[in-house]
Amino acid sequence: MLLLQIESIADTLNSSEWVFPIAECFHIAAFAWSIGLIAAVDYKLLGFGIQHSKPSEVLHDTAPWTLLGLAVVLLSGPLLFLSDTRMYLHNPSFVFKMYALAAAIIFNYTIHRKVAQSDTASQGVRVVVAIVSLALWISVVFGGLFIAFA
Amino acid sequence: MLLSFAQWIQFTTFFTDLRGSANVYPIIMSLHMVGIALFGGMILMTDLRLLGWALTKRSIADVVNQFRVPKRWGLLLTATCGILMAGSKAEEYYYNAFFRTKLILFAVVIITELVFYRSVYANPAALDRAPSVPANAKLAAALSVLLWTSIACCGRGIGYIEPPLDKIHAQIHVNHAALLASRDPYSLKGQDHADVATTN
């Protein structure tokens, strides 16, 4: 029953040749937005680029927009996925991307957020957290692109 | 002239090797995407500030200056990877309507940067002193959002145009089968496009 429903969603998505590319454009623009803003916080944690403000301020300024970008990513992504669920589920890059994405989101809203909010965290902790954050999000991007090459 | 340049550059040893490498090409493509992420968000943030929609408590000078250096690094990464990809398939890209559109949009971006550089980007502190954000700064920001979004979409569009195989002289490597499959949402269902890639 569920499979039938997924099939009909896929048919709807595939009925126009424009749905997939347009969803992809939204996906790309939105991930650039959200990951770029998370990177802005990471740069601050690493101690370069952004002057005149504390990590907590950069986080506070960017967080709502990061969330908006992530929302668009998480709405357009499933549309792409539903166009051909079987292909994606058998694609090792896609599976890797989903694990990396889950890890990146959880890390972002727990440890990353805590350290960025705390203006008293030591520089060592900040650097480690920023590097882990950048590495996780870059893994997500790589995983996404390699879906086409897997 | 442009076509013969495209043919020459793609057959240089460097770009021939790059095209033939199954792993390097997708890695460069991924780094291109990472670069987009690293500066796309910051461009948008700067533009939203100029439009007065975000970070309004922070001065324009702070926002513009803060993102300037990271944006340049992101752009450098993206542009380097983009040139590497375009160079290795220059002839194919020459025929690609989305790639041509993208180049035109780059020219427009450069022109708008030059037009607005003095009044907007070079002196953001002056914008803070104005009672409200001047109209030309808002125009610059709106154009920036529109142009960069269009450039990203054109970039994705490049992959959706099948290369005119009868005109392309470069050997398309095996991995191109997967790339072709990824271009066309319908063909994702089967790998039956593999024969397309190997016919060349």
- pLDDT of A85-139, one tens digit each? 989 999 999 999 999 999 999 999 999 999 999 988 899 999 999 999 999 999 9
User: If chain B, 200 residues long, is cut into consecutive pieces of 10 residues, what is the mean pLDDT of each piece?
Assistant: 80 81 87 91 88 84 84 92 87 89 95 89 85 89 93 90 76 52 48 41
> In Å, what is the CA distance from B167 to each residue of B97, B100, B181?
15, 17, 20
Cα B184 to Cα A20: distance, rounded to the nearest angstrom: 9
pTM (two decimals): 0.82
Q: Using the beta-carbon criterion (under 8 Å), do B153 and A25 form an inter-chain contact? A: yes
CA A63/CA A96 separation, integer angstroms? 26
Do B77 and A46 meet the contact criterion of CB atoms below 8 Å apart?
no
Using CA atoms, how far residue B179 sits from A113, B26, B129, B136, B174, in Å, is 37, 10, 51, 42, 9
* Residues of chain B contacting A39 with CB distance shorter than 8 Å: 37-38, 41-42, 70
Which pair of structure tokens corresponds to residue A51? 């002057």
- Residue B178 with chain A: CB contacts under 8 Å: 148-150
Q: Domain residue spans in chain B? A: 2-169
pLDDT of B199 reads: 37
Asked if B45 lies within 8 A of A138 by C-beta distance, the reply is no
CB of B26 less than 8 A from some CB of A: yes
Query: In terms of C-beta density within 10 A (0-12 exposed, 13-18 middle, 19 or more buried), how is residue B129 classed?
Result: exposed
pLDDT tens-digit map of A1-16 = 667 677 777 877 777 7
The span from the CA of A39 to the CA of A46, in Å, is: 10
Quote the CA–CA distance of B157 and A147 in Å, as a whole number: 17
pLDDT tens, residue by residue, B19-48:
877 788 889 999 999 999 988 888 988 898
pLDDT above 90 for A141: yes
Q: CA geometry: angle at A26 spanning A24 and A32, to 5°? A: 100
Q: Is any Cβ of chain A less than 8 angstroms from the Cβ of B77?
A: no
Between chain A and chain B, how many beta carbons pairs sit less than 8 Å apart? 121
Cβ of residue B55 closer than 8 Å to a chain A Cβ: yes
DSSP count for chain A of H helices, then E strands: 7, 0
- Split at pLDDT 50, 70, 90, the class of A50 is low
CB contact under 8 A, A36 and B37: yes
Q: A61 near B55, Cβ under 8 Å? A: yes
Query: What is residue B66's predicted lDDT score, i.e. its pLDDT?
Result: 79
**Chain A: closest CA distance from residue B10 (Å):** 22
Going by C-alpha positions, the residue among B191, B149, B179 that lies closest to residue B85 is: B179
Residue with tokens 């090459």: A149
